[in-house]
């Protein structure tokens, strides 16, 4: 049975419908941002900006990183690193 809510394969959608969905590039960049924490446990916003470019050749703005971190914190995926001001880490589940 087809999953009508599948966000990975959008080929059957019209261009207008696709434009209303959060761009997959932004979703993919969030996944890439989280993957950076597998390379280094504690990261600052500046390190994330540099890491996104050096690892993935993605130019991300500091404001995007800040808002993404804010949203990931609200979702319980990351937290501020204890004892490291301005650094973040993956939250233990």
pLDDT tens-place string over residues 38-79: 999 999 999 999 999 999 999 999 999 999 999 899 988 899
Residue 20: the pLDDT is 74
Residue 4: the pLDDT is 85
Give the span between the Cα atoms of 51 and 12, in whole angstroms.
34
Residue 18: the pLDDT is 75
Gap between the terminal Cα atoms of the chain: 32
* CATH assignment, 22-90: 1.10.10.10
* Sequence ranges of the domains in the chain: 22-90
Residue 53: the pLDDT is 97
In the numeric block, which tokens belong to residue 43?
């990261």
């Amino acid at each position: 049975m087809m999953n009508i809510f599948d966000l990975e394969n959008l080929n059957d959608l019209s261009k207008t419908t696709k434009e209303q969905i959060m761009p997959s590039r932004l979703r993919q960049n969030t996944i890439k941002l989280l993957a950076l924490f597998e390379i280094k446990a504690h990261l600052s916003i500046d390190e994330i900006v540099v890491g996104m470019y050096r690892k993935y050749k993605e130019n991300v703005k500091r404001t995007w990183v800040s808002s993404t971190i804010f949203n990931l914190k609200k979702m319980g995926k990351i937290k501020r690193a204890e004892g490291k001001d301005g650094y973040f880490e993956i939250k233990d589940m």
